[in-house]
Structure 1
Amino acid sequence: MSAPGSGSSPSSSSVDIAHLVSVMRRAEPLVHCLTNSVVRQVTADVLLAAGAAPAMVDHPEEAADFAAVASGVLVNVGNPTAEQVEGMHAAIGSAREHGTPWVLDPVAVGGLTLRTGLATGWLDHGPAAIRANASEIVALAGAGVGGRGVDSTHDVAAALPSALMLAERTGGVVAVTGAQDVVVTNSGGLTVATWITSGHPLLQKVIGTGCALGALTAAYLGAARATGLPDHDAVVAAHAHV
């Protein structure tokens, strides 16, 4: 496939989803969720149903310690409080120090100054993955103003150039969700893109589905790294699982 706005054409990738699901369930990864208050219950339920273990630890005096022992960390800016933001900073620093993969979920960036500044600043702190809808990806890359609140007003194909730019900047995996999902990675100048046809309109009618997907992405990353599997494959498997 070719990538609009990219200097090179990304190659396609196939992933053994069933194997990754088995790996994640055997590992039972502990996922440290710094997420918004609206979705904590559904996020915990999704992780448990998938085979992972959730923990909602965002106090500044605990977040760093927990990120050090977790399998993966989710940083979701959906409803940030001053105390939670402090905990997020601490968790990200600890995750980097201890090699814990962390996922950035830039909920509704572009339209609100605080969260946009936070998410943009954290791009240089080594997220293993970014998981977002198309409008959030466009805004995070500085190519647009975001969507309508948490809802996307861009399609996934339109966000692909922004996703490729973010993957190159962070060195991590970038996943864009929509009617089709795309997961992109830039490694050594080679871009890999995997398209997933599994979206459903009902996912937009249930609160917290995208936020829970961010947590599940952290679960898969933690399990994959523990067994030497690629981050890209882990992120694809998380999206396919949902």
Structure 2
Amino acid sequence: MHDLADLLPVTRRSAPLVHFITNYVTVNDCANITIAAGGSPIMADDPAESEDITRLCAALVLNMGTPCARTRDAMLAAGQEANRLGHPVVFDPVGAGASAFRNSVALDILRHVRPTVIKGNISEIRFLAEGVGSAKGVGACPTELVNEANLAEALSVARRLHAATGAVIVISGPIDLVADGDSAWAVDNGHPMMARLSGTGCMSAGVIACHCGAHPGEPLRAALCGMVCMGISGELAHQRLTADEGTGSYRVRLHDAMSRLDADILRRACRVRQLA
């Protein structure tokens, strides 16, 4: 794969406008990490305007963190409009498998919208891989983490969901997995403290969307670059903590690190390996 660092300056120069239909828990962090990554966020989750806003933007993020009927309708309308325009769609199926309503929203989106990238943890991705196309879906799986022991199994799940949707699949965890039908990559960047901060997964989707919006013809590279940028920022944020600082300071330093990330830092710190 060509140098991922080449994508970063292009993304910063193009400053892609990213439309978020996301949750109210992490919305501010998603907006600010998008700015730090080089993009420009706009949050619009009313069905009355979701299509209009999508037309203005280079990419769309659909996040199920706090689903309701209104945001479901907005996501379907915006997603279909983005598909019509050929704009990248990043789908983050937060909590898929946890409730009947949440499951129905996730499967409705996959039946009516063609995501460019689907990003979730292994439990969420497994639910979609087993439930897409089924009227009932499947039960929620226990929370799991991708590690060396289950990396091959996680890749199998990702490949099943890719086959069903055509999307690039990102599975987040201590090891991040990025795959399509042709290749698969493991990202070893990141820090355990990221898991102690609410919203790092949601923020990752925003960073991916920035790179997809700036590089719409390269969704695999864009998704991989987004996860690497997030992981490196997590590492740098931890390195810069002082002895008396905790998760609140870490959150601020994570945004600082993303805003100061450049191609040289990315080249030096990137830890990616090809799996297939």
TM bin (shorter chain): 0.7 to 0.9
Give the number of equivalent residue pairs: 219
- Give the Å deviation of 1:119: 1.4
| Residue 173 (structure 2) pairs with residue 182 (structure 1) | no
Which letter maps to 2:59?
A: G
8 Å Cα contact 1:213/1:239 also seen in 2: yes
- The list of structure 1 runs, each at least 4 consecutive aligned residues, that deviate by more than 3 angstroms after superposition, is 143-148
Distance 2:5 2:154 in 1: 28
Question: 1:108, 1:147 within 8 Å by CA — same for their partners in 2?
Answer: no
Give the alignment of 1:98-109 within 5 angstroms: 98-109=85-96
Amino acid at match of 1:174: I
In 1, Cα distance between the equivalents of 2:100 and 2:212?
A: 29
What residue number does 2:127 align with? 139
Superposed counterparts of 1:22-171, under 5 Å: 22-124=9-111, 125-142=113-130, 145-147=139-141, 152-155=143-146, 157=151, 158-171=153-166
Q: In 2, distance between residues paired with 1:78 and 1:147?
A: 17
Q: Which has the higher strand share?
A: 1
Residue 201, structure 1, aligned to residue 189, structure 2? no
Displacement of 1:106 after TM fit?
A: 0.5
Alpha carbons 1:103, 1:130 under 8 Å: kept: yes
Partner Cα separation in structure 2 for residue 230 and residue 55 of structure 1: 23
TM (norm. structure 2) is 0.76
Asked if 1:218 corresponds to 2:186, the answer is no
Contact 1:78 1:106 in 2 (8 A): yes
Equivalent residue letter for 1:215: G
Deviations along 1:84-127, one digit per CA (max 9) or x if unpaired, are 11111110111111111111100011121112122123224210
Give 1:169 shift. Answer: 1.4
Consecutive unaligned residues in structure 2, runs of 5 or more = 132-137, 231-276
Cα deviation 1:120-173 (Å, max 9, x = unaligned): 23224210000111111111112774455xxx3243523221110111111120
Deviation at 1:44, TM superposition (A): 0.6
Greater helix fraction, Structure 1 or Structure 2: 2
Q: Is residue 63–residue 93 contact of structure 2 (8 Å, CA) maintained in 1?
A: yes
Structure with bigger gyration radius: 2
For the 8 Å contact 1:60–1:83, the answer to whether it is kept is yes
* 8 Å Cα contact 1:147/1:154 also seen in 2: no
Q: CA separation in 2, counterparts of 1:108 and 1:27?
A: 32
SS at match of 1:61: coil
Q: Deviations over 1:173-205 (max 9, x none)?
A: 00111111111111xxxx210111113211111
Distance 1:206 1:54 in 2: 21
CA distance in 1, matches of 2:14, 2:121: 28
Amino acid at match of 1:118: V
Aligned-pair CA distance for 1:19:
0.6
Q: What TM-score, normalized by structure 1, do the two folds share?
A: 0.86
Identity %, equivalent residues: 32
In structure 2, give the amino acid aligned to 1:140. Answer: L
Secondary structure of 2:180's match?
strand
